[in-house]
Amino acid sequence: GAVVSQHPSWVICKSGTSVKIECRSLDFQATTMFWYRQFPKQSLMLMATSNEGSKATYEQGVEKDKFLINHASLTLSTLTVTSAHPEDSSFYICSATLLGTDTQYFGPGTRLTVL
């Protein structure tokens, strides 16, 4: 089946630093990937839609200069949290749609803790 991986699975960083999270579709190509954020005991909140070769589309209220998204290839999208602060601590999850289907496959998530 379609597999999506994320790296790292967890990261701890100091306030003010930047953190990059990778999302890869391992056995399929994904022209579109999605980034979500999930706070404890809450639902997933869509942050942005990442399109290969073009700029990401951000949801309302999500700062594009703080959450930089780069979809460099059909199998890789990256999310960089710039100048991270403790309130950015969250669980970040990506997903990718298998071409020709309507199904989104999700990565295992990345737990970010900003001290």
Partner 1 sequence: SQQGEEDPQALSIQEGENATMNCSYKTSINNLQWYRQNSGRGLVHLILIRSNEREKHSGRLRVTLDTSKKSSSLLITASRAADTASYFCAPDQGGSEKLVFGKGMKLTVNP
Positions in the binding site for partner 1 (CB under 8 A): 4, 6, 32, 34, 36, 42-44, 46, 49, 91, 93, 95, 97, 102-109, 111
40 vs 56: CA distance, rounded Å? 26
With a CB cutoff of 8 Å and minimum separation 6, the contacts of 14 are 114, 115
Min. distance of Cβ 53 from partner 1 in angstroms?
16
User: Which residue number, 8 or 108, has a Cβ lying nearer to partner 1?
Assistant: 108
Min. distance of Cβ 103 from partner 1 in angstroms?
6
User: Which residue number, 6 or 25, has a Cβ lying nearer to partner 1?
Assistant: 6
Min. distance of Cβ 95 from partner 1 in angstroms?
7
Q: Are strands 10-13 and 110-114 parallel, antiparallel or unpaired?
A: parallel
76 vs 62: CA distance, rounded Å? 21
User: Which residue number, 82 or 111, has a Cβ lying nearer to partner 1?
Assistant: 111
> In Å, how far are 6, 19, 45, 89 from 40, measured between CA atoms?
19, 20, 12, 10
User: Which residue number, 40 or 86, has a Cβ lying nearer to partner 1?
Assistant: 40
Min. distance of Cβ 69 from partner 1 in angstroms?
14
Which DSSP letter does residue 86 get? G
